[in-house]
A and B are shown apart, each in its own frame.
Chain A
Amino acid sequence: MNADDLRRAMQLADPRLSRFDPLPRIIAFDDFDRGFCGWTQLVGNYEHTLDSMLPGYAQHSQAMLSTLTTWDFGSHGSHDGSYALKIATKAKRGAQNVAVKRLTFRKRGPLRLEFYFTFKPEANALRLLETDVRAIGFLYDFQTGDQDGDAWRVMPHLRFLNAENGAHVQKWQFKPRTMPFKELGDEGKIVSHYHLDPSGWEDLPGGHQRLCYNEIPTKVNWHYACLDFDLATMQATGFRCNDRAFDLTPFAPIRIPAMRNLWCMLNLAFFAETDTDKRAFLYVDSVCLSGDF
């Protein structure tokens, strides 16, 4: 048995990792029974006054550790253990919230992000509520190294558009462009752009997927997602959700000139958006980020 076979056998025998297919080096394994694992609020940029923060960011709040507690049967629990990371929007149509984990990378090579997720609206009506959550999604925020020949900030975004204006859409989308940058303050050092503005999403070909939602608004089922991304080429190389693998041919990340302070950045984020005046909840448990280096 060689080292790779041994590593694979050990992972398959470990109940915590056996449900993942990580690349050789595990960069982060975030099981929310061990706390927040570095997942925090995506706060917006500002200078001199918090009033300078863009409204999209000003609405964000802290993620929570949740037992998925329901009014009708109690705590649902997470995929593995009691706690999941919970990202909750406010109860206002179009409201968004984002949780982020901030790292840097050691080598520009293959990365794999795997996670289990589920979503529901706040169950404050005795109806199915399957079209109240507009979207859930995730993104990377990368920047090339300070000595690299190229100098880009690259932000691959994927979202599951669950519903829009009451229609149960259920499709995966990507976002190739961000919003214009705005200078904040008067020192010429801080700018901001709201890359999760609801406009500019494009469909993945064949990206419709009917996820298990279950039969009342309090029952959840967990879904698997996996995005492969190559830091060398700054291109996504694979995306899977449950039993489906999707065509990434037209996929393009947001790509903008490198910024002054973000070299080797490797940020991950999860987000949720509501389509009605109900809170939308995205739950994640667990997250495995791995690389080949």
Chain B
Amino acid sequence: MIPESQSAVIARNETWRGQVFTEPYEAGWAREAVVFVTALANATGPAGTAHLEISPDGMRWAREGTSFTLPTTKDSIAFARASHFGNWLRLAVEMPATAELVALVTIHSKA
């Protein structure tokens, strides 16, 4: 059987300000994932930062160690790769004061 592969849009057209967490995404079946953030419009202010987080239960979270700078121009993309992440993934986003980003978040997972 061909290994499972899925693209999941977990946040769409969301306006990010200050501190934001994406919804918990359960994918224990997946060995690897790429998390993309697409800017749906030009951002306001300086670029934010996203931190990959993992969890034993979908409720308590820890930084996985991967962080990346968020895109600031319309249709530009930033991403992080993850493996050995257990069962749960999410992004913890930090936007500088006065900064704003309209984001699309897509997780591509593979068994």
Which A residues are closer than 8 A to B by beta carbons? Answer: 34-36, 41, 43, 50-51, 53, 58, 61-62, 64-67, 69-71, 75, 83, 86, 88, 90, 122-124, 279
Q: Please tell me which one of the listed residues A35, A62, A71 contacts residue B56 in the complex, with CB atoms under 8 A apart.
A: A71
The interface residues of chain A lying within 8 Å CB-to-CB of B27 are 64-65
Partner of A50, one of B23, B29, B40, B59: B40
Interface residues of B (CB under 8 A from A): 1, 4, 6, 8-13, 23-29, 40, 56-60, 87
B6 touching A36, Cβ below 8 Å? yes
Residues of chain B with a CB closer than 8 A to A34's CB: 1
B14 to chain A, nearest CB (A): 9
Contact A58 B13 (CB under 8 A): yes
Q: Which residues of B contact A58 (CB under 8 A)?
A: 12-13
CB-nearest residue of chain B to A59: B12
- B interface majority secondary structure: loop
Do B57 and A71 touch (CB < 8 A)?
yes
Q: Is the CB of B87 within 8 A of A70?
A: no
Contact indicator A69/B58 (Cβ below 8 Å): yes
- Extra pairs beyond A50-B40, A75-B28 (13, CB < 8 Å): A36-B6, A58-B12, A58-B13, A61-B9, A61-B11, A61-B23, A64-B25, A69-B57, A69-B58, A69-B87, A71-B60, A83-B29, A279-B24
> Which residues of chain A are near B4, meaning CB under 8 Å?
35, 65
Whether the Cβ atoms of B26 and A66 lie closer than 8 Å is: yes
- Bound form: Cα–Cα A86–B57 in Å: 15
Measured between beta carbons, the chain B residues less than 8 angstroms from A35 are: 4, 6
B26 touching A86, Cβ below 8 Å: yes
The chain A residue sitting closest to B57, CB to CB, is A71
Identify A53's interface contact among B13, B40, B56, CB under 8 A.
B13
Complex interface: chain A residues within 8 A of B87 (CB)? 67, 69
Say whether B13 contacts A122, CB under 8 Å. Answer: no
Given A67-B87, A69-B58, A122-B59, A61 contacting B29 (CB threshold 8 A): no
Shortest beta-carbon distance from A47 to chain B in Å: 14
B40 touches A41 (CB 8 A): no
Residue of A nearest to B7 (CB): A62
Q: Which of B9, B11, B23 contacts A88 (CB 8 A)?
A: B23
Chain B residues in 8 Å Cβ range of A66 = 26, 28
Query: A61 to B14, alpha carbons, bound, how many Å?
Result: 12
Q: Which residue of B lies closest to A58 (CB)?
A: B13
